[in-house]
Amino acid sequence: MVLQPDKLFKINQKVYLLDSLGPVEEERKAEVLLNNSLYLKHLNDSLFMANYMLGYTKELTKFGFQVFTENQMQAFMNIDTNAVQITVAQIELEETIYTFRDETQLFGQTYYHDHNLNAVYVNSWFEIMPINDIHAKPLIQFATDMLVDEVVGAFDYDQFSGQMRYMFNTDTISTAMLYEFAYDLGRVYAGYTFDLLLNSELDKNLPQDKRSERYWRYDPYSKTFFLAGEDRFITLDE
């Protein structure tokens, strides 16, 4: 059973914009910042949420899950096999500036160029609860990822003038890219969900002297297991 949040939270973290907007009452700052955002003010919340949840639920089926939505609650409660309720508790978008430094070394000297890029962070909170285990506690999980302007730059050293030049092109993010990003994130986090349940089963069923601290991932396409590294949920205590 997969439940989605009631709303999408959107925050413009570019507070420096307030300096050019004149006096703004404290209680209206968040609203004014959102109205002056580059991307969030144009975002269709329902479309973003639909893409996110579509990517999530479709990918869960690739892992062998039978997925139920909220309007199938009665059918879900009647099943007699292992069941898990997954609540996507909150999705939050933060528009901000991301500083990226492109640098190179030549003749023992470091050259660099700093870019202030537009970025949107997507923060997600999940509550994952095995239904058939009366001793199980909800697993509260967090994940974050970022969509950012893409920069392609190159340093060019002019031997005649002894100067370093830097040339670059920027591919800026768009609202359409955010919708695609939402779908892709849903797919990624479906994988994280399976991996969490997989490793929880290993923790529960393997003897302590047989269970290492390794956190495993599973690829349903190649049907292979591999170590997760940092590609996983962050477990929250509360």
User: Please, is 18 exposed, middle or buried when counting C-beta atoms within 10 Å of its C-beta (0-12, 13-18, 19+)?
Assistant: middle
| DSSP code, position 232 | S
What whole-number distance in Å separates Cα of residue 67 and Cα of residue 85? 10
Q: Which residue has the tokens 């991301």?
A: 98
pLDDT for res 238:
56
- 51-90, pLDDT tens digit by residue? 999 999 999 999 999 999 989 988 888 887 789 999 999 9
Residues in the chain: 238
Integer-rounded Cα radius of gyration of the chain: 23
Rounded Cα–Cα distance for residues 139 and 25 (Å)? 39
What pLDDT is stored for residue 18 in this prediction?
Answer: 87
Distance of alpha carbon 215 from alpha carbon 19, whole angstroms = 47
**What is the residue type of 200?**
S
**CA atoms of 83 and 67, how far apart (whole Å):** 10
Residues of the chain with pLDDT under 50: none
| Alpha-carbon gap, residue 9 to 48, rounded angstroms | 11
Closest to 88 (Cα-Cα) out of 51, 117, 114:
51
d(CA 63, CA 74): 23
Which has the closest alpha carbon to 13: 76, 80, 98, 86? 98
Locus of tokens 């292979």:
224
Query: What pTM did the predictor assign?
Result: 0.90
Which residues neighbour 170 within 8 Å (Cβ) at sequence distance 6 or greater? 115, 117, 149, 150, 151
pLDDT by residue (tens digit) across 152-173?
999 998 888 888 999 999 999 9
The token pair that represents 207 in the structure block? 């003897």
